[in-house]
Structure 1
Amino acid sequence: MIKSNIPHFMVDENWQITACDSTVAEWMGHSVEDVVGKSCFDMVDGHNLDGSSFCRPVCPLTTASRHALTINPVMILNNPHNPRQIVRVHYVILDNPKGILHFVRPLHDPNKSSRTLTKNQLQLVQGLAMGLTHRQIAEQNHIALSTVTTQLKRIRRTLSCASDRHLVTWYWNQDQH
């Protein structure tokens, strides 16, 4: 039994869900009883923001871990009752017993406003916060890559942020999430 006030679920080395809190089960469109014992990639209908599948038999979290990379995925959980629940997943890979503990944080309003940025500027920062590259942000917003680079530089100067990582930190520290 895992005790946490943060929505979470746990999978074992065979990708079977061994624990799941009721909030995450609801986001998956199921009850806890329906989820526990099933494979995570069958129960979590998680997709990247570009629509590609995140949850799959070759887990991107363990793949990143094997290459000493840390990823902080933002994904869309689809279920019939609450389509397009956008969440950020934080995770811990455990060695004994082997498994992955997933902490899930909802991102309530992807169109949140800010007093210091225009709507267009905020969209660029949101793209960074969702894990998109500058090129992906440019494609998503139908603007030139150079425009994204220039605008993010101006935004960093406006917010006194030294890097894109600091912009993402600023974004997640806003109260309107």
Structure 2
Amino acid sequence: MSRPLTDTLLHPLLRHLMDGITRAGLPLMLLDADGVVVDGNAALADRLGLDLDTARGRPCADVVQGRDVFGNVFCGPDCPVLAMWREGVCLHPYEIEAHGVGEPRKVTFVPIAVKLPDGEEPMLLQVVLDPTPAQRAAEADDPDPLTPREIEVLEGLARGLSTRGLVAALHISVSTVRNHLQSVFRKLGVHSRLEAVLVARARGLVGAIPPR
């Protein structure tokens, strides 16, 4: 379990979202509109092997120093993810190799654009996942793929539906929803609904993440 994020002056809505991701044990990085690292959690420090105190206040590109699958520089002043975010384009998960944290590490970033009320500056949440399980699943014939109904359950989770919401949307019982969720968690190798949605998005099992 990750420790709580450091105390920073953030909008309560954003803090609530970040705390939920942190409680799920997922690595999280928060960026401002300029792509500067505002905050992160202990899971992020562990996953990327970085010092949060050193990372805060620096451009994400300098901290991560990502390269694409061909070894080309991905992170920099012309970051395509930041450009898409500023233009209001739907953001998709992407895989890079981080070179700014010691030994290069392959990771999948799942970006979540957050538009805050009261005219506050928008923020970008970056959830960092290990791509290895997804790579293995993509490279091999999966002996236990998700069923169409399980995909529907995942899509419902991605829309923020609760158990009762899934019951109403799919016209199935509470116990059936719970059985589907247990099966989805097992097949994706996750332990929470939030983690299931993020992994599913990273693997292309559910849709892209629209600006919020």
Give, as a single letter, the amino acid of the residue that structure 2 aligns with 1:23: A
Q: Which amino acid aligns with 1:75?
A: I
Query: Larger strand proportion, structure 1 or 2?
Result: 1
For residues 142 and 63 of structure 2, what CA distance do their matches in structure 1 show?
40
Instruction: Quote the sequence identity (%).
Output: 17
Stretches of structure 1 lacking an aligned partner (at least 5 in a row): 118-164, 171-177
Q: Which among 34, 48, 64 is matched to residue 44 of structure 1?
A: 64
Deviation of 1:32 after TM superposition, in Å, equals 1.0
Judged with a 3 Å threshold, the aligned counterparts in structure 2 of structure 1 residues 78 and 67 are, in CA distance, closer, same or farther, namely same
Provide TM-score, normalisation by structure 2: 0.48
1:82 counterpart residue number: 103
User: In 2, distance between residues paired with 1:38 and 1:62?
Assistant: 15
Matching residue of 2:194: none
TM-score (norm 1): 0.56
Alpha-carbon distance between aligned partners in 1 of 2:123 and 2:57, rounded to the nearest angstrom: 14
State the 1:168 CA deviation: 5.0
The answer to whether structure 1 residue 105 and structure 2 residue 129 are counterparts is yes
Name the count of aligned residue pairs: 121
| Structure-2 residue corresponding to 1:157 | none
Q: Give 2:38's aligned residue.
A: 18
Structure (1/2) with the larger helix percentage: 2
* Partner SS, residue 33 of structure 1: helix
1:114 is matched with: 140
Structure 2: which amino acid aligns with 1:71?
Answer: H
Residue pairs, 1:1-177, within 5 angstroms: 1=5, 2-3=18-19, 4=22, 5-65=25-85, 66=87, 68-79=89-100, 81-83=102-104, 85-96=105-116, 97-108=121-132, 110=135, 114=140, 168-169=204-205
Give 1:64 shift.
2.3
Q: Aligned pair in 2 of structure 1 residues 81, 40: CA closer, same or farther (>3 Å)?
A: closer
2:65–2:98 contact (8 Å) kept in structure 1: yes
Match of 1:169, SS state, is: coil
CA deviation profile, 1:27-50 (whole Å, cap 9, x unmatched): 444211111111111111111112
CA distance in 2, matches of 1:24, 1:54: 20
